Amino acid sequence: MASNGPLILCDNLVKIYKVQDLEVVALQGLDLVVERGEFMGIVGPSGSGKSTLMNILGGLDVPSAGKAIVDGQDLLKLSPAGLTRYRRHKVGFVWQQPSRNLIPYLNVQENVDLPIIVGGGMSPSERSAWTRELLEAVGLYDRRHHTLHQLSGGEQQRTAISVALANKPVLLLADEPTGEVDTVTAQGILDTLRHLNKTYQLTIVTVTHDPRVSDQVDRVVGIRDGKTSSERVRRVQGELGQPAETDRDAPEQAADSAGQPKQGQVTYHEYVVLDSAGRLQLPREYLEELGISGRAQVEMTEKGILVVPARHQELGANNVNYADVAESWGPQKRSRGHNLGRRVKSVLGKRAARRSGDEDRSESAPKGRA
Ligand code: ADP
Ligand code: MG
């Protein structure tokens, strides 16, 4: 069992779902590294591929291509039996609905006992000591004889977390674990996750749409269109393993008036992610503000790389935004009269109208994709 290096390594991960004749590319070359002991959040719009990634890391789904290695095990190469062992011992999974982890007619203790008995890796006395420790860690030991309908939503989710951790996995995956509960309950669930992360150096990856989560976790990775696009890293000044601040890496928040973060102070750093081919996604707001779409110019400057709107946008069909053309092809049936030249002209015509300011307000906003 490999115990060095990052716990999770995804390299150019691709997942394509085939539904009848249609192909949905849920992950399109996603790269991700998660260190051991990290508590990480994943955010992104609906349909961006977050659950697909979690299901692959959880051994519940198989990637179409690329690499997904967890604790030294290549998930693309595991046999069905190997995958079952992986799901049982390496990884724990928590869903939005705690009921997916729980059997309603068993009590809390029995729900946690069950996967340990099935896993077969502990003697009865080991099991008893471990479930006690685990239920104390999630604050449910005195509720161990309660059945599920006697528990609140937050208590059910904390039971589900205990069930996920019953066989001492190295990785806990949670897909929107606070998606169905109120703010106070959500905070309790996050506190529990943070406590487990600190106590057992447990690596946790949680999907969330809850903006407060980004203040709880070490790092938030943004996913867009099936690829990692941005990262927000939380640093506590002076914490072990945190590099000293430099000018280039200046904190964006919480610096004191002298500009230097104090010991113990929390700072956040925003990054865009480059993939292995050097591609990156620029923030959509910036692109819209500058009116960049289709093409841009990249210039080397003293401070770094500058991205500016392409000059000579008017030159003609060569500078057309291909996404706009594809969109205009979209719902209409192909017929003899529809050729690319015409489409391009109509898109260019629309653009000219936009520039001259008489744009129809109902027209969709420009696409901001790098
Ligand atoms: P998210 O969790 O970020 O909302 P998902 O990973 O669930 O996104 O989905 C990503 C894309 O893959 C979506 O377009 C979704 O419709 C599609 N998808 C997800 N699961 C399946 C599936 N089992 N079969 C077909 N398409 C799927
Ligand atoms: Mg999802």
**212 and 348, same structural domain?**
no
Ligand nearest to the CA of 49: 1
Specify the pLDDT at position 312: 67
Tell me if 344 sits within 8 A of 320, measured CB to CB: yes
Identify the CA nearest to 370 among candidates 283, 270, 299. Answer: 283
Contacts of 26 (CB under 8 A, 6+ apart): 15, 16, 17, 49, 52, 226
> For residue 145, is it within any domain?
no
Q: Is the CB of 298 under 6 A from ligand 1?
A: no
Give me 223's structure tokens. 């996913």
> For residue 67, is it within any domain?
yes
Q: Rg of the chain's alpha carbons, rounded to an integer?
A: 25
Q: Is the CB of 24 under 6 A from ligand 1?
A: yes
Specify the pLDDT at position 258: 54
**182 and 36, same structural domain?**
yes
**306 and 187, same structural domain?**
no
> For residue 178, is it within any domain?
yes
Q: Is the CB of 51 under 6 A from ligand 1?
A: yes
> For residue 146, is it within any domain?
no
Q: Is the CB of 52 under 6 A from ligand 1?
A: yes
For ligand 1, pick from 17, 28, 205 the residue to mutate: most ligand atoms within 8 Å of CB.
17
pLDDT along the chain (370 residues), means of 10: 81 94 94 96 94 97 96 95 94 95 96 95 96 97 95 96 97 94 92 96 93 84 90 76 44 51 76 79 82 85 87 57 61 43 49 51 42
Specify the pLDDT at position 232: 85
SS3 call for 316: coil
Specify the pLDDT at position 280: 82
| Domain of residue 344, residue span | 284-355
Angle between helix axes 108-119 and 153-164 (nearest 10 degrees) is 20
Q: Residues of the chain with pLDDT > 70: what percent? A: 77
Domain end among 224, 246, 269: 224
SS3 call for 86: helix
Tally of residues, the chain: 370
For ligand 1, pick from 24, 206, 209 the residue to mutate: most ligand atoms within 8 Å of CB.
24
Domain end among 224, 243, 259: 224
What is the whole-number distance in angstroms between the Cα of residue 175 and the centre of ligand 2? 7
Distances (CA, A) of 182 to 91, 157, 210: 27, 12, 11
Please report where in the chains the tokens 């069905």 appear, as a residue. 80
Identify the CA nearest to 219 among candidates 273, 169, 170, 255. Answer: 273
SS3 call for 161: helix
Ligand nearest to the CA of 179: 2
Domain end among 224, 241, 271: 224
What is the whole-number distance in angstroms between the Cα of residue 115 and the centre of ligand 2? 25
> For residue 318, is it within any domain?
yes
Can you give the CATH number for the domain in which 200 is found?
3.40.50.300
**305 and 183, same structural domain?**
no
Cα separation, 187 vs 194, in Å, equals 10
For ligand 1, pick from 18, 51, 55, 93 the residue to mutate: most ligand atoms within 8 Å of CB.
51
> For residue 208, is it within any domain?
yes
> For residue 346, is it within any domain?
yes
What's the number of domains the chain is made of?
Answer: 2
Contacts of 27 (CB under 8 A, 6+ apart): 13, 14, 15, 49, 52, 53, 56, 63, 66, 226, 227
Residues flanking ion ligand 2, Cβ below 5 Å: 50-51
> For residue 297, is it within any domain?
yes
**343 and 216, same structural domain?**
no
**43 and 184, same structural domain?**
yes
